[in-house]
Structure 1
Amino acid sequence: MSSTTTKFTLHEDWTVVILGSIIILLAIVGIIILAPTFNWSSPADFSSKVFTASNLSSIGFQFVLVLVISGLGALLTGKPLKHFLIVFPVVYFITLIALLLAGNSQIKDLNLEAVIFSLALGLTIGNLFKLPDWFRATLATELYVKIGLVLLGTSIIFSDILKAGSLGLLQALIVVLSVWYFAFWLCRKLKIDDEMTMMISSAVSICGVSAAIATSGAIKGDPKKLSTVISMVLITAIPMMIFMPYIAHYFNFPQEVTGAWLGGSIDTTGAVVASGTLVGETALKISTIVKFSQNVLLGIAAFAISIYWTYSKNPLAKDKDTKPTLGIIWERFPKFVLGFVGASLLFSFVLSPEVTAGAKNSLKSIQGLWFALAFTSIGLETRFSDLFNKDTKKPLYAFLIAQGFNVIITLIIAFLLFG
């Protein structure tokens, strides 16, 4: 008699919750990895700031941490460990170059984030060289982004949002609902497929890349479509974060209005902070609070989308009158959102301010690294021929029109609430 053993695997979302929890637990108990610096303005700074023994030690410890966590993720999700040990160091090395490029003082003055360089380098290498299929299959883009999202929850502190008053939350709610519905209606009018419609609507209205990832997880979306939407978000975020502050300055908008406008319009949190800094301290504070308020809605939106998608796309229904069970809804619900919400609740209501302050910088740095690794992976697995072709023209038009609507309606709401 021959016996076969079934290899144990875990769903990626539950894997993310476990891995994110491990990182947070390490920070809480005091195992803090100092955030390395990549800031430099001249070649001489490499030896005096970046390539010092202490900074290289921090970089090395971060590498070991993400290597072990990613390796554990590969094991739990059933990916070949031997392939992972080849692919991950390559992805990390490319990401390290991106972090160094973004750390240049002149680049910082342009408010360009590391993820932009991660994506650009990944796209360049992925399109100049023919990567083996096994290499692309080993890339763990969603795993990296979802871990970053769980860690993002540690920075969503409800008391900070409430201190700014209810106006930020009110604006976030109005903007998300109005922009989401407009984008959804527009995509339907342009006959864009349902998966792309849901991802575009969420990305434009809530918080860009994070919302696109959460929505993709809720509807089990096509990774290629997700990469296309993420690229749209990043491409539009760059000019918006550069030109919107200057538009506000030219028309002499109040800082409160400008901050609310930036926080509600620009899709990535880092870009919001960068653009708010160009305007002033008040604008920076308001823009950050508004953006965080939208981030809070991420978990609620993902839950609502998963229920809607399950009911509208019920695979077990033979007719439209058949409703999915709670079990099906739970099966399709993106479990990593539980990690995001749990981290936010833990750092908002359970841990002491001393503990959160001690873990904050380390977690923020690791969170940024996970996102950068994810965007490097997105670039490596994306072909330009797949990114913008005849099949993506309508989605791109829809995204741009919806983004224009977002900019206008958010400015109007910002004036009504903060003017």
Structure 2
Amino acid sequence: MNQENTLTRSSLLKTEDWWAVWLGGLVFFLGLGQLFGGDLLGWAVKTNVWLSITNSMAPLSKTYAFLPGWASLLLTFLFFLVTTSIGAACMGWNLKRFVVGFTIIFALAYGSFVLGSYGYLAATKDQYAKLNMNWSVGLTPEGGFIIALIVGLLIGNFWTGLAKFLEEAARPELYIKTGIVILGATLGIKALGSVNLASTVIIRGLCAIVEAYLIYWPVVYFISRKWFKMTPEWAAPLASGISICGVAAAIATGGAIRSRPQIPIILSSVIIVFVAVELLFLPWLAQSILYNQPMVAGSWMGLAVKSDGGAVASGAITEGLIRAKALAVNGVKWEPGWILTVTTVTKVFIDIFIGIWAFILAVVWSVFGINKRSQEKGAKVTKGEIWERFPKFVIGYAATFLILLLIGLAAPHLTKAATAAADQANGLRGIYFTLTFFSIGLITNVRKLWAEGMGRIVTVYAVCLFGFILWVGLLISWIFYHGIMPPIVTG
């Protein structure tokens, strides 16, 4: 019986991990239609930062500009419904309840994301002129994740009957792992862009690996375990989320060590809030102290801000602020794009190793039996056990990254089309992430969350971020990028 169950669980069509690979891979390969002159994903909905609701939605591609936003949204919903329903049927879920539940979850989750993209909540400073506004909370559209989580929590804790009805479609692990598979394509394009950078910038970008994996992670893990008495199930995803790459790293780590699914998402909601806090002050601090060292500032944003979107947004704001101050104070006009490039390269070198780190942790947790009650510490584990523990979605993440990177290296003339393909796939990734946050809120009991020590999570994050992460990141950025300047615009 055990052998039969093992064979069933290992089937390529029976587990959420593998279905994340198939669903994420489908989105990725549809995006690759750009390489052949096709536009197979351009009809999908894109959510804009908006002040007028009529401008909140549009198709991803100008090819489908004739579609109104609501039609693009409808097509996107049908695509998600059909593809996820096929997976649900193969995994033996109640298909009728899944279809109805998914329809409601999609509507509420996407509505939350649209609300989170409202200009006075989401806009960053570099978007003010375009939107004709002069202030915002600055959460970035990722604030929509927090709103989706809150809406899910409200339903899950106050409308328990509705939550019970929706639970068949509340599948956070499937949604987030699919999103991470798609994320690999975006990182592939970023890494491809860095190939053409000066070799000195690329080499110095490697400091991010040393900084993230040899300094931040063990220190955060030690503080969480020894000072705040967190269990390994909480401490490892928290260490990855704070030290590596926010949401994706926390969830990849949670999958690798088999933590309860709500743990990395709870941590991710805290991470997003701190990212918003950093966006409110870090670029202006960088402008004040680093306007004569622009590349140091760009690297610092990549090391300090723990989400891809937040880091890139902070790099864009920092570039605008520093270039303006350097021109006003020193009369020097730096060539645009370089500060943001350093931010992106630094972030890429960190992100690229999420999969590797997840694999390392999967092996360590398996070999030493951490968090596994049925296995005493130090017991031997078979290769099959390690493979069974290995998060399969990481294979998809690595594959989408390598495919786009190799395409760009082998055929540079296809880089522009490959970039468009990754951008389109990334548009759907955001929806998968939103579904994740809503679903985890729906299945979460708030009283149990507080019992686990939410206050400790926030305290650990604040102590680590403001106590040493920001300043160690600044020191390493200074060591590797001090004295390296962008080209000066003449004439």
- Aligned counterpart, 1:290: 346
8 Å CA contact retained: 1:171, 1:417: no
> Structure 2 counterpart of 1:133, which letter?
K
Match of 1:117 among 144, 165, 176: 144
1:68-119 C-alpha deviation (Å, 9 max, x unpaired): 2221232233322122112212222123323433444443234423332233
CA distance in 2, matches of 1:241, 1:47: 23
Deviations 1:6-35 (A, max 9, x none): 998612111111221222222224423345
Closer/same/farther in 2, CA of residues 385 and 318 from structure 1, 3 Å limit: closer
In structure 2, relative to structure 1, the CA distance for the partners of 1:269 and 1:319 (3 Å cut) is: closer
How many angstroms apart in 2 are the aligned matches of 1:336 and 1:19?
Answer: 10
Q: Which moved more, 1:22-31 or 1:294-303?
A: 22-31
Q: Which runs of 5+ in 2 are unaligned?
A: 1-7, 60-64, 125-135, 320-336, 483-491
Q: What code does the residue aligned with 1:39 have? A: N
State the alpha-carbon separation in 2 of the partners of residues 199 and 288 from structure 1: 23
Q: What's the counterpart of residue 413 of structure 1?
A: 476
The answer to whether the 8 A contact 2:139-2:276 is kept is: yes
Between stretches 163-172 and 366-375, larger displacement belongs to 163-172
Decide which moves more: 235-244 or 356-365: 356-365
**Equivalence for 2:391:** 334
Q: Provide the C-alpha distance between the structure 1 equivalents of 2:425 and 2:58, rounded to a whole number of angstroms.
A: 22
1:112-132 residue CA offsets vs partner (Å, 9 max, x unmatched): 233322332441453253343
Matched, 1:273 2:277: no
Structure 1, unpaired ranges of 5+: 1-5
Task: Measure the CA separation in 2 of the matches of 1:358 and 1:142.
Answer: 27
Q: 1:52 and 1:386, CA in 2 relative to 1: closer, same or farther beyond 3 A?
A: farther
* 8 A contact 2:184–2:398 mirrored in 1: yes
The residue type equivalent to 1:311 in the other structure is V
One-letter code aligned to 1:265: A
Confirm whether residue 126 of structure 1 aligns to residue 163 of structure 2: no
Structure 1 position 225 matched with structure 2 position 263: yes
One-letter amino acid of the structure 2 residue matched with residue 327 of structure 1: G
Q: What's 1:400 paired with?
A: 462
Q: What is residue 192 of structure 2 aligned with on the other side?
A: 159
Whole-angstrom distance in 2 between the partners of 1:237 and 1:317: 38
Question: Residue 46 and residue 23 in structure 1: after superposition, are their counterparts in 2 closer, same or farther (change >3 A)?
Answer: closer
Structure with bigger gyration radius: 2
Give % identity: 26
Distance (whole Å) between structure 1 residues aligned to residue 57 and residue 359 of structure 2: 48
Partner Cα separation in structure 2 for residue 279 and residue 175 of structure 1: 22
Residue equivalent to 2:300: 261
Residue 365 of structure 1 is matched in structure 2 by 427
In 1: Cα distance, 2:221 partner to 2:26 partner: 37
> How far apart, in 2, do the equivalents of 1:195 and 1:49 lie?
41
Instruction: Write out per-residue CA displacement over residues 275-318 of structure 1, whole angstroms, 9 at most, x where no aligned residue.
Output: 11211143322112111211101011001000110011175986
Determine helix, strand or coil for the equivalent of 2:379: coil
TM-score w.r.t. length of structure 2: 0.77
CA contact (8 A) 1:33 1:62 kept: no
Shift of 1:173: 2.9
Say if 2:45 and 2:58, in contact at 8 Å, map to a contact too. no
Post-superposition offset of 1:143: 1.0
Alpha-carbon separation, structure 1, partners of 2:303 and 2:145: 25
SS in 2 for 1:208: helix
Residues 347, 83 of structure 1: alpha-carbon distance in 2 compared, 3 angstrom cutoff: same
- RMSD over aligned Cα atoms: 2.8
Whole-Å separation in 2 of the counterparts to 1:174 and 1:195: 23
Q: Specify which of 201, 204, 208 is matched with residue 239 of structure 2.
A: 201
Q: Deviations over 1:182-214 (max 9, x none)?
A: 011112213211110111111111111111111
Q: 1:291 to 1:89 in 2, by over 3 A?
A: same
CA distances 1:337-364 after superposition (whole Å, capped 9, x unpaired)? 0000011111110464255144233212
The question of whether the paired residues in 2 share the 8 Å contact of 1:180 and 1:201 is answered with yes
- 1:391 matched to 2:453: yes
> How much has 1:37 moved relative to structure 2?
4.2
Counterpart position of 2:17: 13
Q: Distance in 2 between matches of 1:218 and 1:84?
A: 27
Matched residues in 1 for 2:14 and 2:375: separation? 30
Residues 222-231 or 184-193, more deviating: 222-231
Question: Per the alignment, in what secondary structure is the counterpart of residue 165 of structure 1?
Answer: helix
Q: Which moved more, 1:335-344 or 1:245-254?
A: 245-254
3-state SS, counterpart of residue 78 of structure 1: coil
Q: Say whether the 8 Å CA contact 2:89–2:95 is kept in structure 1.
A: yes
Provide the residue aligned with 1:3 in structure 2: none
The question of whether the paired residues in 2 share the 8 Å contact of 1:311 and 1:323 is answered with yes
Q: Is the contact made by 2:117 and 2:143 (CA closer than 8 Å) also made in structure 1?
A: no
Contact (CA 8 Å) 1:167, 1:417: kept in 2 or not? yes
Task: Check the 8 A contact 1:124/1:379 in 2, yes or no.
Answer: yes
Q: Secondary structure at the match of 1:166?
A: helix
Change (3 A) 1:212 1:349: same
Task: Identify if the C-alpha distance between structure 1 residues 148 and 37 changes in structure 2 by more than 3 Å, giving closer, same or farther.
Answer: closer
The one of 354, 362, 385 equivalent to 1:306 is: 362
**Residue number in structure 2 paired with 1:178:** 215
257 and 145 in structure 1: CA distance in 2 versus 1, 3 angstrom threshold:
same
Change (3 A) 1:309 1:399: same
Query: What amino acid is the match of 1:22?
Result: L
* Aligned with residue 108 of structure 1, among 106, 115, 123: 123
How many residues are matched? 414
Name the TM-score, length of structure 1 as normaliser. Answer: 0.89
Residue range with higher mean Cα deviation, 296-305 or 10-19: 10-19
Match of 1:62 in 2: 76
CA contact (8 A) 2:94 2:168 kept: no
Q: Give the aligned residue type for 2:386.
A: I
Q: 1:124 to 1:321 in 2, by over 3 A?
A: closer
The 10-residue stretch of structure 1 (308-317 or 42-51) with the greater mean CA deviation from structure 2: 42-51
CA distance in 2, matches of 1:234, 1:388: 19
Query: Per-residue displacement from partner, 1:220-275 (whole Å, max 9, x unpaired)?
Result: 11123223212221221110122111111232442211211111111111111211
